[in-house]
Structure 1
């Protein structure tokens, strides 16, 4: 696809779900992808799949809760390919509960990964982008931040925080660094497997079984956003099943 071939794209949370789909589809279109996640076994498999089809990839074990890991991650891209064109902050976690249940440990995990992890990714990439005078930040957000419902208050809060920060950054930027937010709805991934609240896990899994869309749809949204001419910025994309309320 135009403007994709040769781009160097770093993707967090690349070991499964949307992150994997984004990496594979970008590689198919000629991008050089740098995969980051905690699970190196899965990263190795995805790396080998991309290489077997003629794609270009490398990977690094990272934990987005560690800002040093994110710096090392973007430097992996620069050391290997000489540049970093795009960072996709995809890593995320969801724990669903009533606020008055006071699941503070789960709140902190979501804040550490969904909010601070994205900020760490931005902080690692921005100096490189400034030096290059070009770059693109893509944050994977959620429709949970658009439609506020019970049990998702803190999760939605972390996602809306990123939405707010991104809009401020867009206004502060001189246009050399673009920023895009992509908000998926129900997507066929293993995302719900880590939800501790069994009742909510069942609800989410049932919704996924009935209406969820393929993660390739999210990958295509990323491709659309980053394939635009340099003077065009795609701000926000909401992508969800047509049957989702």
Structure 2
């Protein structure tokens, strides 16, 4: 029996990359997983794969994280199906043109909408039920770009700094409520999002490495809150 048997987790951005790996890892530990992303075909494939494994149940829900109503319905459907939400993984993200000199305002807006507003919408939707139960865990996937800024990452880094600020403030807001918050900052991970980025002489992390960090955080005793995890390639 897995460490998360009977738990339910929502994973946003679950159709590929880190989100897909997190969903598989949590399901492997016995958690029912609610898969959220815009690409429903990919979600359905993952839903079928997990359900066939018979270790956990999966539910795919097409969700656009920049639409508050979509995110609210995501949480409502998860609760209707599984009874409650124990873990919410804010993973959906955009990495677009991030220099200010580029003047690509629309690409900046996409990052701000998904990376910041989407995170806030997710927290807002799931937090009331967690507070009512005095139990739950919110995982925010940030980035090492939220720790360091390069000349090419200005706007993207700003959004990930914001995720870290949200995580830090929320953890303080929720002290002694029973609801935990963990911020995870990955280095360069080998996913479609990072194609063409990063140094060619340094091995990128695997998405599964980040998924294992999530499992580590959510399987600690209920009185332990792992606030911050940074995962970098050697």
Deviations 1:194-226 (A, max 9, x none): xxxxxxxx3x0x637841121111110000000
Give the 5 Å matches for 1:2-81: 3-54=3-54, 55-81=56-82
**Cα deviation, residue 5, structure 1:** 1.6
Name the structure 2 match of 1:166. Answer: 167
Distance 1:41 1:130, change over 3 A: same
Moved over 2 A (4+): 206-210
Distance in 2, matches of 1:208 and 1:56, equals 38
Bigger drift between 97-106 and 10-19 goes to: 97-106
Matched, 1:207 2:209: no
Name the structure 2 match of 1:218. Answer: 210
Distance in 1, matches of 2:111 and 2:206, equals 24
Name the structure 2 match of 1:149. Answer: 150
Q: Extract unaligned runs of 5+ from structure 2.
A: none
Matched, 1:182 2:174: no
> TM-score by structure 2 length?
0.95
Name the structure 2 match of 1:109. Answer: 110
Distance 1:98 1:227, change over 3 A: same
Q: Secondary structure at the match of 1:99?
A: coil
**Cα deviation, residue 97, structure 1:** 3.8
**Cα deviation, residue 52, structure 1:** 1.5
Deviations 1:32-76 (A, max 9, x none): 100000001000100111111113111100000001111111111
- Which of 186, 191, 194 is the matching residue for 2:193? 191
> TM-score by structure 1 length?
0.91
RMSD (CA atoms): 1.5
- How many residue pairs were aligned? 232
Deviations 1:156-192 (A, max 9, x none): 0001111112111111113311100001111111113
Q: Extract unaligned runs of 5+ from structure 1.
A: 194-201
Distance in 1, matches of 2:5 and 2:200, equals 33
